[in-house]
Each structure stands twice: as C-alpha cells, then as structure tokens.
Amino acid sequence: MLKDRLVGTWGLVSLETRRSDGTTSHLLGPSPKGRFMFDADGNFAAQLMNPDRQDDNSEGYVANWGVYQVDEERQTFTLDFIGSVQSATVGLRTVRHVNFKDGDGSIAVFNTDLNVVDGISEQTFITWEKLSPAPH
C-alpha cells in the first residue's frame, strides 16, 4: 500500500520543473537538500533548501507541516498545510503523484499536476531517497 511505503523519512535528491518549451528550472539550485517525514497517523513535515543560499536569507528555504491523506487507487497523496514559513501556503491543499523508481521503494518521485502558465505547460518533479525505515 502507498501509505505504508510513504511512512518514514525521505532525503531530497532533486527538484526540477520541466516546461513544454524544453526548459528546466531548479527552484532550489542544482543540489538541493531536504527532508520529508510522514508518520503513520497522517502527519507530515518537510524542509527543503538551496544549500548555496546566502546566510540569514529565507529565500531558497521551504518548510511546512500538516496532515496528509493517501488515495491508493490514484497513487497520490494530498497535503493540507497547517503551518509554513511561507504564510501564503497555510491552509492550502496540494496533490502529489507518486512513482517508485525501483523495486524496493527506496527512490520515489513526487510530481505535481500539469500546470499551464502563460501558455506553457509545466510540471514539477521531486525525487526522494528513503532514509528510514530502511526499504525492504
């Protein structure tokens, strides 16, 4: 089950937004750092950052927490943001699709729905590596 596979701590591998015009952007730089934690009771906490950001500059840092629900059939999870360093995201709800890249579940890609901005479609892909509990 997807929920069982999500529970634990994940380390950020990459975060990129791909556009239909062929461009790719890296919101948190080429080598972002981060953790995403899911517990079995439906709580989550996430922190992501650009390790090259300037000291005391909150730009390039994302942190939030809240609750999540899993849709096993669609292989998605929905995040409800209760707290965040970005005040505009508090109260928002967002869906992430999950694709596992290996048989043991140690690498997962969470992606957004396709979004159109100024006539160009884009989608964000966030790759995570399972840190704990260790994949089977």
CB burial of residue 12 (10 Å; 0-12, 13-18, 19+): buried
Q: Where are the alpha helices (DSSP H) in 11-110?
A: none
What's the rounded Cα separation, in Å, for the pair 107 and 5?
11
4 pLDDT above the threshold of 90 = yes
Task: Read off the pLDDT of each residue in 3-15 and give the average, rounded to a whole number.
Answer: 96
Q: Which domain holds residue 125?
A: 2-132
Q: For residue 52, what is the domain's CATH number?
A: 2.40.128.20
Please write the tens of the pLDDT for every residue from 71-82. 999 999 999 999
**Number of domains forming the structure of the chain:** 1
Please write the tens of the pLDDT for every residue from 37-82. 999 999 999 999 999 887 666 678 999 999 999 999 999 999 999 9
| Other CB atoms within 10 Å distance of the CB of residue 50 | 21
**What pLDDT is recorded for position 135?**
60
117 pLDDT above the threshold of 70 = yes
What's the rounded Cα separation, in Å, for the pair 131 and 80?
23
Tokens encoding 86: 């970005």
